[in-house]
Structure 1
Amino acid sequence: MSYVLGIDGGGSKTVCVLMDDLRQVLGRGEASPSNYQSIGIEATLQSIQSAIYNAVEAAIIINPVKIDAICLGLAGVGRAADIEVVKGLVQDLQNNKYLPINWALQPTNIVICNDALIALVGGIGQPVGIVVAAGTGSIVFGRNHQGHTKRVGGWGYVLGDEGSAYKIAITGMNAALKSYDGRDISTSLIEGFKQHLDLESIEDLIEVIYRRGWGVKQIAALAPIVDLAAASGDIVANNVIDDAVKELVKATSTVIDAIFSSNSVLEVVTTGRVWRCKSKFHERFAASIVKKFPKGNVIFPRYEPAYGAGLLALQTTQI
């Protein structure tokens, strides 16, 4: 029996799953964030160690467990330099005498990749297809049967992130202020933002956004105001949602055109909180994709990203 570890290291938490060669999850553990670009390599190592320990301890299995392969899908890991850093981290894991693990890793059994790939593999259940992630930020990533990949977006809130919660919130506030100025038609977004933020006037958005030092996540959390207004039939809010959908459709179409044929049978998995919008965001996107690519199938994730990492690790033991 082979045992592998799949690790999903993101900006909000770290998840580790312990899997056997029957693709069964024997243990699952969570820990603090592990985006080393933002918290540093030492803190990242601590989070991953904790997640591994929690996963192994949760498993009904004799310790120490022999691990034959590992996959780390980490946010912020894309360049060759990043991979070298994480290789050092894996070596540190193997030198940790407190983890209840007997390591049996070979270089070919260590997979280091970005979190988009494990979201794709986990979401679909295999390493072929497209993942469209739309949460605080956004990115579209695809991989075909030949192993060719294509990424669109993922440039961050200043340079990109079209279709994300952040961009929906910013565009919604911009639309509300245009309406207040008289540059656009009337919209319920003005009252929506006022009530949610307890503002006397929509002009007080200046104080909220500029003077309170709000970050990306705090601003992105305002996206539901736009969503609810759109779901209630507000024309301006619906235009914001439509534009966000169009951007994600365009990004997805770009990936399909780059590595798939137009008549390919493929699955597109949608991940992130934006897809749960009440304004039929998912339905609008799916309808547009199927119209352009009739053999496309837009789905919600079948499994979590950490499970996808486990599948990628397991794949190395079967070559």
Structure 2
Amino acid sequence: MNICGIDAGGTTTRCILVNENGELLAESKAGPANYQVTGLANVAQEIRKAINVVCKEAGINEIDVLGVGLAGVISKEDIQTVKNNLLLIKQVKKCCITNDGEIAVLGAYAGEPGIVVVVGTGSIIYGLKENGVTVKIGGWGPLLGDEGSGFWIGLKALQAIIKTGEGRNANTSLSSILMNSFNIDDLEELVSFVYQDKLSREKIAALAPLVIRAMADGDQVAKQIIEKGCDELILMITAMAKKINYQKKEIAVTGGLFNNSPFYDLFSYKLKKLSNLKAINPLYPAVYGAILYGALRAGLNLSLKKTE
């Protein structure tokens, strides 16, 4: 018996294969796979790539159970569409699919109740109740949500430098920092760059580290943006804690932005001050949560064994 877990996200797809004892057999990576952004064909392609590598590395021909956490799946119809496609992969015998937030909370607490905050290109908060029911807050995408995310921070920074250029905002080093990053000279070029070149969500999110660095260097406009982003995330956490009657004093945090020390430090400080909660690292990364999700759906009792 083997179980394959896949964490398919907007930046990368990570895959691990374990045996029935939870021991690692193989692992691989593939490209980005967000159902809403890159589409079904791309999702299936990247997952196939990842599966082919672990099967070859482990010397097996079949995946007994495949657990997938996929960015961008929202409805039951989304999940069924992806599942039908993945079941066409000849190696896969059983397939279980959910969103990337659910596998994050499963991995963060090894299947125990808890709350996880995932902040990267987008933002989402997942809670796991005592009865095993999961609850989501956020994850509504760039037009309707993603507060506090890399995209949100990048977009607010772009809006801020336009206001500064028109005299509606305080002077900020972000103006030169962001325009230099695009190799442009003025706001008119910025507008063309954003709209005509259709600046992607990922490229806007990639501005977030520049904004965080500007904050660390003392830029007040950048600081206001980051503080507002942290406040929005904490509002979501507070709402989640009420929803699931959360009694613990820790919140697991994961995602690219939390790898940035100034952002993590400010968020942790505000979280403790405003909610009396402590930010902690997950017990296991989301890809292990995908393993656990697949095992649970298949009725298997699996103990995780992390090797990293």
Change beyond 3 A, Cα 1:291–1:38: closer
Distance of 2:96 and 2:210 partners within structure 1: 40
Q: Which residue of structure 2 aligns with residue 125 of structure 1?
A: 110
The within-5 A match list for 1:173-184 is: 173-184=158-169
1:72 to 57, 68, 76: 68
Q: Which residue of structure 1 aligns with residue 306 of structure 2?
A: none
Q: Which residue of structure 2 aligns with residue 287 of structure 1?
A: 269
Contact 2:102 2:134 in 1 (8 A): no
The within-5 A match list for 1:82-101 is: 82-93=78-89, 96=90, 99=91
1:152-171, Cα deviation, whole Å (9 max, x unpaired): 11111111111011111121
1:227 to 199, 212, 218: 212
Q: Which residue of structure 1 aligns with residue 305 of structure 2?
A: none
Change beyond 3 A, Cα 1:38–1:232: closer
For 1:147, what is the secondary structure of its paired residue? coil
What amino acid is the match of 1:63?
Answer: I
TM-score (ref. length: structure 1): 0.84
Distance of 1:56 and 1:286 partners within structure 2: 40
Distance of 2:66 and 2:162 partners within structure 1: 50
**Displacement of 1:195:** 2.8
Contact 2:110 2:284 in 1 (8 A): yes
Change beyond 3 A, Cα 1:190–1:50: closer
Distance of 2:176 and 2:160 partners within structure 1: 12
The within-5 A match list for 1:132-147 is: 132-147=117-132
1:309 equivalent in alignment to 2:294: no
Residue identity (%):
33
Contact 1:149 1:259 in 2 (8 A): no
1:223-270, Cα deviation, whole Å (9 max, x unpaired): 222111110011111111100110111111111111124xx1154222
What amino acid is the match of 2:7?
Answer: D
1:218 equivalent in alignment to 2:203: yes
Greater mean deviation of Cα atoms: 35-44 or 156-165 = 35-44
1:61-110, Cα deviation, whole Å (9 max, x unpaired): x6346x543312112223221232233234323xx1xx4x7x4x5xxxx5
1:165 equivalent in alignment to 2:150: yes
RMSD after superposition: 2.5
Change beyond 3 A, Cα 1:266–1:84: farther
TM-score (ref. length: structure 2): 0.86
Distance of 1:118 and 1:176 partners within structure 2: 37
1:129-153, Cα deviation, whole Å (9 max, x unpaired): 1221221111111112212322111
For 1:111, what is the secondary structure of its paired residue? strand
Contact 1:45 1:89 in 2 (8 A): yes
For 1:190, what is the secondary structure of its paired residue? helix
What amino acid is the match of 1:151?
Answer: K
Greater mean deviation of Cα atoms: 26-35 or 218-227 = 26-35
**Displacement of 1:289:** 2.5
Distance of 2:34 and 2:158 partners within structure 1: 30
For 1:171, what is the secondary structure of its paired residue? helix
Contact 2:6 2:69 in 1 (8 A): yes
For 2:175, what is the secondary structure of its paired residue? helix
Q: Which has the larger radius of gyration?
A: 1
Distance of 1:196 and 1:13 partners within structure 2: 23
What amino acid is the match of 1:306?
Answer: V
1:63 to 60, 63, 86: 60
Distance of 1:9 and 1:267 partners within structure 2: 26
**Displacement of 1:309:** 0.6
Q: Which residue of structure 2 aligns with residue 52 of structure 1?
A: 51
**Displacement of 1:183:** 2.1
Contact 1:21 1:314 in 2 (8 A): no
Change beyond 3 A, Cα 1:218–1:42: closer
Distance of 1:23 and 1:16 partners within structure 2: 14
The within-5 A match list for 1:235-254 is: 235-254=220-239
What amino acid is the match of 1:276?
Answer: N
